[in-house]
Amino acid sequence: MLEEIKLGIETADKMVNRGQGIFNHMKKPYQAGEEIISKAISENGGISADDIQAVAMQFMVRKFVKKIKNYDSIIKKAEQQFDKLLEQTAENFSIRTPDEDWIEYFFDMSSRVSNEAVQEIWARILLQKHINNSSVKKVMLNSLALLDAEAASAFKAICTLTYKLIINNEIRVIPLVVWDYNIDNLLDGYEGDTEPFEKYKKICPDEKDLEYLAEIGLVTTTNLTSSTYTVFSPEKSEVTFKCNEDSITIDETYNEDEDIYQTEVSFVFFTQVGLALYEAIGFPEDEALFPVLKRFAENQIPYSE
């Protein structure tokens, strides 16, 4: 029995020691402060006010330096984006400096971000604020601060796959989300280039991404098992699907059972905050969007589960 107990203790010790190093990286920010405290106790038998101040300075300096590095990286990315924009257009931009309160809040929120993909989005916000004076409110920055790298990638994808739906001069901005099996349905009998459709499949966010974007208040989904959302009109109208300078116009379909006209659109929509961020960030539409959008408009996909 004693041998079994000893073996059990040794096994437990091994398991504890095995897991000890897994969180060591989380201790690094505090090690310098711990060393100051340990040294003070060892040499002086206690901790003085100066020791506490030294520890606090260690924490503050490390945190501030990291924030400055992140902020500087975002500014450099914004400058690179502006240089690229100047190369692509002859437009003269009128630079407007945001007010100090906005800059201070932007610094506080954006300087916590170390991931480069997410920093790119913050950089676009900063650039658009300077050249378009875009209305980026603090609540939008709060939502943006919730994006991790994966969610930021999904939101960027949503933005690059967004089109304008025009009915009776009313414009709606809608992301085009079509599940893979419906892309395959669209390709039935299609004789054109299928490469944009394959690229679209790789870009389009999946159900998990959409659920997370919905949780943080950037998009809403009518039904994740649905293929489309139906827009109804009391009278027959032309419907235009537009992205960049390309567009396709179709007639609404008449629903005899309901005595109403209808058009199928994609089932994901921006919230007010999501739409404001989309407009502020200004991601260009992906080149794969219009071929898929055109086929989608020409072959209205019925509801399916």
Structural domain containing residue 210:
95-298
pLDDT of 58 reads 61
Of 14-18, 134-138, 160-164, the poorest mean pLDDT is in: 14-18
Residue 99 lies in a domain: yes
Rounded Cα gap, residues 80 and 250, in angstroms: 41
Which pLDDT score is estimated for 65? 78
Query: Is 303 a residue whose pLDDT tops 60?
Result: no
136 or 117, which is more confident: 117
Over residues 111-125, the pLDDT tens digits come to 888 898 899 999 989
* Residue type, position 209, single letter: D
Q: In whole angstroms, what is the distance from residue 166 CA to residue 171 CA?
A: 5
Residue 7 has pLDDT above 60, yes or no: no
Average pLDDT over every residue of 176-194: 89
Residue 291, pLDDT score: 94
| Contact between residue 201 and residue 183 where contact means Cβ atoms under 8 Å apart | yes
Kindly state whether residue 72 falls inside one of the protein's structural domains.
no
What is the pLDDT at residue 123? Answer: 92
267, 223 contact by CB (below 8 A): yes
Percent of all residues in the chain with a pLDDT value above 90, rounded to a whole number = 27
- At 162 the pLDDT is 96
Q: Is residue 26 part of a domain?
A: no
Confidence at residue 6, expressed as pLDDT on a 0 to 100 scale? 46
Whether the pLDDT of residue 174 is over 90: the answer is yes
pLDDT of residue 194: 94
pLDDT tens by residue, 17-73 = 544 555 454 455 556 556 656 666 666 666 676 666 665 566 666 677 788 899 899
Identify the residue with better confidence: 151 or 4.
Answer: 151
Q: Please say whether the beta carbons of 152 and 118 come within 8 A.
A: yes
| Sheet order of strands, 260-265 included | 229-233, 260-265, 253-255
With respect to residue 137, please indicate whether it lies within any of the assigned structural domains.
yes
Closest by CA position to 201, among listed 179, 229, 225: 179
Residue 105 tokens, joined:
């809040």
pLDDT at position 5 is 43
**Residue 304: predicted pLDDT:** 38
221 inside domain: yes
Look at residue 60 and tell me if it is in a domain: no
pLDDT, one tens digit per residue, over 244-253 is 889 999 888 8
Whole-number Å distance between alpha carbons of 46 and 103: 43
The verdict on residue 260 lying in a domain is yes
Q: How many domains does the chain have?
A: 1
User: Model confidence at 276, in pLDDT bands (50, 70, 90)?
Assistant: confident
What is the tens place of the pLDDT at every residue in 152-168? Answer: 899 999 999 999 999 88
What's residue 155's pLDDT?
93
Q: How far apart are CA 217 and CA 120, in angstroms?
A: 20
Range picked from 1-10, 22-31, 98-107 for highest mean pLDDT: 98-107
For residue 273, count other CB atoms closer than 10 A to its CB. Answer: 18
Identify the burial level of 281 via C-beta atoms within 10 angstroms of its C-beta, where 0-12 means exposed, 13-18 middle and 19 or more buried. Answer: buried
Does residue 103 belong to any structural domain of this protein?
yes
